[in-house]
Amino acid sequence: MALLTLIDPAAAQETAKAAAGVPADSKYVFNTFLFLVAGFLVMWMAAGFAMLEAGMVRTKNVAMQCTKNIGLYAIAGLMFWVVGYNLMYDGVDGGFLGSFTPKMIPDPAQDTGDYAAASDWFFQMVFCATAASIVSGTLAERIKLWPFLVFVAILCGIIYPIQGAWKWGAGWLDGMGFLDFAGSTIVHSTGGWAALVGAIILGARQGKYGKDGSVHAIPGSSMPLATLGTFILWLGWFGFNGGSQLALGSLEDASSVSRIFANTNLAAAGG
| pLDDT in 10s for each residue of the chain, 271 residues | 343 444 455 544 554 555 555 677 889 999 999 999 999 999 999 999 999 999 999 999 999 999 999 999 999 999 999 999 999 999 899 999 999 999 988 777 777 789 999 999 999 999 999 999 999 999 999 999 999 999 999 999 999 999 999 999 999 999 999 999 999 999 999 999 999 999 999 998 888 888 888 888 888 899 999 999 999 999 999 999 999 999 999 999 999 999 999 999 999 999 7
Question: Which DSSP helix (H) or strand (E) runs through 119?
Answer: helix 117-138
Closest to 43 (Cα-Cα) out of 141, 139, 125: 125
Domains of the chain: 28-104+112-204+222-269 (1.10.3430.10)
Separation between Cα atoms, residue 240 and residue 131, nearest integer Å: 12
CB 140 within 8 A of CB 65: yes
- For the entire predicted model, the pTM comes to 0.87
- Could you give the C-alpha distances from 244 to 30, 178, 257, in angstroms and in order? 14, 16, 9
Residue 2 identity: A
Burial class (CB in 10 A: 0-12, 13-18, 19+), 136: buried
